[in-house]
């Protein structure tokens, strides 16, 4: 799915999402990644949802976001809250949705100037 283009100073935005990959600034990424206004972290997390660990969320917390948008693959799945307790303890919000919805939500929040991290698990 290609997303609409709009002007923003929000840093790299997600241009398209297809099963198993996203396109950011014209480059295709497959697998799991985390995206902020200033960084694309291709080594962020697990290959599959079931492999999520608290350490993955601790790495995201270290980026100091206001909110994390977690994309859980082709469908919305909820990790054990104990895994992301470090985010909540620091006052960081977390929204959990399928990866396509997470891509769209990230673009909106980044476009609003929010400190947001998209943590995207591949849906391939």
51 burial class (0-12, 13-18, 19+ CB within 10 angstroms)? exposed
**Which pLDDT does position 122 carry in this prediction?**
86
Angle at 78 between CA 89 and CA 118, to 5 degrees: 70
| pLDDT tens, per residue, the chain with 124 residues | 444 444 456 688 999 999 889 999 999 999 899 999 999 999 898 989 999 999 999 999 999 999 999 999 999 999 999 999 999 999 999 999 999 999 999 999 999 999 999 999 987 6
* Model confidence, pTM: 0.91
- Report residue 71 CA to chain centroid gap: 6
- In the chain the domains, ranked by start, together with CATH numbers, are 22-120 (3.40.1230.10)
């Amino acid at each position: 799915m290609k997303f609409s283009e709009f002007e923003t100073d929000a840093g790299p935005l997600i241009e398209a999402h297809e099963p198993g990959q996203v396109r950011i600034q014209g480059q295709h990424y497959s697998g799991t990644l985390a995206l902020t206004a200033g960084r694309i972290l291709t080594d962020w997390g697990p290959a599959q949802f079931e492999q999520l660990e608290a350490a993955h969320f601790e790495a995201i917390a270290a980026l100091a976001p206001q909110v994390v948008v977690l994309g859980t693959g082709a469908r919305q799945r909820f990790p054990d809250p104990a895994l992301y307790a470090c985010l909540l303890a620091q006052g960081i919000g977390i929204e959990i949705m399928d990866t396509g919805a997470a891509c769209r939500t990230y673009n909106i929040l980044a476009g609003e100037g929010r400190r947001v991290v998209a943590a995207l698990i591949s849906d391939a």
